[in-house]
Amino acid sequence: MHPEKYHSSFEPYFQTADVFINGIFWDDRAPAFFTLEDMRRPDFRIRVIADVTCDIAPLSSVPSTIRASTIADPIYGFDPFTNQETTPHQPHVIDMMAIDNLPNEMPRDASQAFGEQFIEHILPELLKPESTVIERATIAENGCLTKRFEYLEDYVGVVC
């Protein structure tokens, strides 16, 4: 409700992840996940970013999304030391995929088949007052990890 009060706590993730897939709604009053300065740190491990959100910097949750890429030419490199686009697949470069119309690329038949399966198998479970399917799939509830996913406590820092 107050994105301007948010503080990014993404640091532990950029220190351990190699790939980051961003597909959120982002409010430009909120901070980015990480900064250009963070991207220059030796402990910044992310080498590939798929920014499905594709908000273009400087008003972006991902500061290296400097332009949209295309289906025909989906990857560009971003050099965090020069803040410039460069050739991808180099050791010091972060490979960016930021196709602004990527959701439109999902084949219609796959989308239709997924929708049919969702309607047939998941929707009825969502409408039940109690569902073992939904219970088993629920990772967190009321801000706490569910019993089935408590093994993630050390990684996400949640203790309930």
pLDDT at 20: 97
- Between 75 and 4, the more confident residue is 75
Q: Domains in the chain and their CATH numbers?
A: 1-105 (3.40.50.720), 106-156 (no CATH)
Burial code (b: 16+ CB inside 10 Å, e: under 16) for 90-103 equals eeebbbbbbbbebe
Q: Tokens 């019993």 belong to which residue?
A: 147
* pLDDT band of 67, cuts 50, 70, 90: very high
| Average pLDDT estimate for 134-138 | 94
Encoding tokens for residue 9? 């706590």
pLDDT tens digits for 87-115?
A: 999 999 999 999 998 877 777 778 888 89
pLDDT at 77: 98
CA pair distance 40, 140, nearest whole angstrom: 33
pLDDT at 109: 73
